[in-house]
Amino acid sequence: MLAWLMHFFRGKGDQTMSKLVKRTIAIMIVCEFLICLGLSLIFPVMPFIKNEYHFSAFDMGVMSALFALVQFVASPVVGRWSDRLGRKPMLIWGMVLFAIGQLIFAVGNTLWIFDFSRVIDGLSAAMFVPTSMALAADITTPRERAKVIGWLSAAFSGGLILGPGLGGILAAWGYKVPFWVAGILGGMATLVALFWLPDDRKVDLGQPSEPAPTSPAPGWGKYRHLMTRPMLILFAMILVAAFGLAGFESIYSLYVNEVHQFDLAAIATVLTLNGILSLVLQVFFFEKLVVWLGEVKLIRYSYLLSALATLVVIYDHSHWQIIVATLVVFEAFDLLRPAITTLLTKASTKDQGLINGMNMSLTSIGNIFGPLLSGATLDWNYQYPYLIVTVFLMVAFGISFGLRKFMAQN
């Protein structure tokens, strides 16, 4: 995290950004990292919670699904609110709810309290993540946007990657300790954002001087305005990317252990390498790849590579080749998400909150149904889950050729 900020504040290639814009982005990076870190702390302590309170596996599944469900429902609504009320209020309330949710989990001792905590966490993520992407789009030029969204995506991924490991370390002093720590840090980050984050409603953050078209009437007309052919293709790709990653990732440990006899050390090595490569790729290479290929080609090649690498995981039996193929799949997805998000922010000069809210909502749908379908089909045949993922990825690869309008811009 420190390396990202040091790289950011060197100002290399950022001469067009004001100090105020840099400070705004730096605060969003820290807060987004912290939120994703806190939200993933639950994973290593779930077995302890299950055993301590005698919950069923279904109870734990509902606890996890509630987060994605609330995020799905709330993201578009919160996105519209941020377009009307401003970005800062949504970001601050997202941080406040994050801290509250973590502290409720820390003091909870019944299933409904734990479920309530995850509902609050889902609302927190719905308020903060798409709003931060919308604010990044508001205050950057199209040329700067890929780099900044790459940093925010790296903060998002980095928090999710480091959270389980940190949660496991802190849980050595008690399985509620990670949530106390996350709640306290969330409160501190809220204060930092409250006093240091500029108010986009009152301060000129250097938004690109592009005339915004007249906004359509509120209600369904606001959504219908976005339903252009290119936008629908991008939304479909978001859904496929989320479904594919969640479907691949959710059963990966079970799959390679049962089918390819990976032990825990090998699985841990793969996930650690993925975390390192993901951060390096998104922070230092994403912008260069966008400049070299353009977002559309990068999306297209990422879908193709992930589909081919998934087939290798299914049919190859060499451990090192499976590890390489796995890393290709994960890194392709880590490029897909920021590339699609960047393209979405360029597709419209207004309603960035609504657009990024729908982005997060569709991601949540994939996060709900991807693991459910992969888990169900794994019981039938070990090849079915990844074959289904491969089919979806190849369909998305074919659909990507429909983005000819954006090809001309890239």
Question: What span, in angstroms and rounded, lies between the C-alpha atoms of 65 and 72?
Answer: 11
CATH of residue 160's domain is: 1.20.1250.20
173 and 230 together in one domain: no
55: left (phi over 0), alpha (psi -120 to 50) or beta: beta
174 and 311 together in one domain: no
State residue 219 phi and psi, 5-degree precision.
90, -150
Q: Is residue 310 part of a domain?
A: yes
Q: Is residue 299 part of a domain?
A: yes
Q: Is residue 275 part of a domain?
A: yes
30 is in which domain, residue-wise? 18-206
240 and 183 together in one domain: no
Domain boundary among 184, 206, 228: 206
354: left (phi over 0), alpha (psi -120 to 50) or beta: alpha
Q: Is residue 12 part of a domain?
A: no
185 and 244 together in one domain: no
199 and 296 together in one domain: no
153 and 246 together in one domain: no
CB 222 within 8 A of CB 216: yes
129 and 34 together in one domain: yes
Q: Is residue 186 part of a domain?
A: yes
Tokens (6 digits) for 209:
């001087």
Q: Is residue 378 part of a domain?
A: yes
Q: Is residue 266 part of a domain?
A: yes
- In tens digits, the chain (410 residues) has pLDDT values of 434 454 544 554 455 567 777 788 888 888 888 877 777 777 667 667 777 888 775 676 677 777 778 887 887 778 778 777 788 888 899 999 999 999 999 998 888 999 999 899 889 888 887 788 778 777 777 677 767 777 777 777 677 667 766 776 777 788 788 889 889 888 888 888 888 887 766 555 555 444 444 444 444 455 555 666 677 777 777 788 778 877 787 677 767 877 888 775 677 677 667 777 877 887 788 878 888 888 888 988 999 999 999 999 888 878 888 889 989 998 888 888 788 877 776 766 555 566 666 776 777 777 777 777 777 777 788 888 889 889 988 988 888 887 765 555 44
Number of domains in the chain: 2
395 and 374 together in one domain: yes
194 and 266 together in one domain: no
301 and 390 together in one domain: yes
**Claim: this prediction has a pTM higher than 0.85:** no
Q: Is residue 11 part of a domain?
A: no
Q: Tell me how crowded residue 19 is: count the other CB atoms within 10 A of its CB.
A: 9
